[in-house]
């Protein structure tokens, strides 16, 4: 009996290894592909969504825009065509959450500096203060890479409409026209201009999840 097992020991080992490989391959084939959720206005807290969109359940995308960046260049949706990007809202004189958010955005910029598929976009909510010159000064202070990250200013109504009706990332200030409270949210946008995630821009763990989700989104596309 021992002689029999010795004789076929090699074949038994080969069979076990092949079986393990086959099982692994089958598992990988059968394993469901990880996909990020596509967010619609109806999925988001009503305080962050314009009343005209609160019941929209499909086909939501980021609206076209035309804004001006820290170098005085016009930035439109075309500059983000076929790109994944992370968007947020801030203002340069903010002393509370904005410095933390900007620091985390700079961290994302550094970690993805060699990833040409991903860009960053920060909108000021005080365009009357954040002129091109002010944004440039801020960009230099924060180490903004102009090829990767646009800080944009422009028409206040357009920016606020983007925050409320496109990115779903701001709260209204009652009884004040075109005024809002921006949130700490970073918004992940895919190559089809759809929202694929919201992340707390002040929370390091949330930033790590954002970086992980970006990799998932890149594989999806």
Angle between helices 98-111 and 132-142 (to 10 degrees): 60
| Whole-number percent of the chain with pLDDT over 90 | 73
User: What kind and span of H or E run contains 153?
Assistant: strand 149-153
Q: Which residues contact 28 (CB under 8 A, 6 or more apart)?
A: none
CA-closest candidate to residue 185, choices 98, 106, 118 = 98
Q: What is the DSSP letter of 201?
A: T
Q: Is 98 annotated as a binding residue?
A: yes
Q: Rounded to 5 degrees, what angle do the CA atoms 114, 34, 78 make? A: 45
Whole-Å CA distances, 168 to 49, 67, 171: 5, 18, 9
Q: Rounded to 5 degrees, what angle do the CA atoms 108, 120, 101 make? A: 55
Q: What is the pLDDT of residues 19-74, one digit of tens each?
A: 556 554 454 455 456 789 999 999 999 888 888 998 999 999 999 999 999 999 99
Indicate the average pLDDT of the chain.
Answer: 88
Q: Which residues contact 181 (CB under 8 A, 6 or more apart)?
A: 170, 171, 172, 173
pLDDT tens, per residue, the chain with 221 residues:
545 445 555 555 555 555 556 554 454 455 456 789 999 999 999 888 888 998 999 999 999 999 999 999 999 999 999 999 999 999 999 999 999 999 999 999 999 999 999 999 999 999 999 999 999 999 999 999 999 999 999 999 999 999 999 999 988 765 455 566 778 999 999 999 999 999 999 999 999 999 999 999 999 86
Q: What is the pLDDT of residue 35?
A: 87
Q: Is 123 annotated as a binding residue?
A: no
């Amino acid at each position: 009996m021992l002689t029999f097992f010795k004789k076929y020991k090699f074949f038994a080992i080969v069979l076990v290894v092949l079986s393990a490989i086959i099982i692994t391959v089958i598992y990988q084939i059968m394993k469901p592909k990880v996909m990020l959720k596509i967010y619609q206005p109806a999925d988001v807290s009503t305080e962050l969504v314009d009343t005209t969109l609160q019941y929209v359940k499909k086909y939501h995308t980021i609206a076209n825009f035309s804004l001006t960046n820290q170098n005085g260049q016009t930035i439109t949706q075309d500059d983000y065509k076929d790109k994944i990007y992370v968007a947020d809202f801030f203002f340069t004189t903010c002393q509370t959450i904005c410095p933390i958010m900007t620091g985390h955005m700079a961290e994302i910029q550094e970690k993805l500096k060699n990833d040409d598929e991903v860009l960053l976009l920060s909108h000021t909510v005080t365009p009357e203060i954040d002129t091109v010159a002010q944004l440039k000064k801020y960009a230099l202070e924060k180490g903004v890479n102009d090829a990767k990250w646009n800080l944009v200013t422009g028409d206040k109504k357009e920016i606020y409409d983007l925050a409320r009706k496109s990115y779903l990332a701001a709260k209204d200030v009652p009884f004040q026209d075109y005024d809002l409270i921006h949130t700490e949210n970073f918004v992940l946008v895919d190559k089809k201009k759809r929202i694929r995630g919201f992340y707390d821009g002040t929370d390091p763990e949330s930033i790590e999840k954002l970086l992980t989700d970006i990799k998932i989104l890149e594989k999806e596309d």
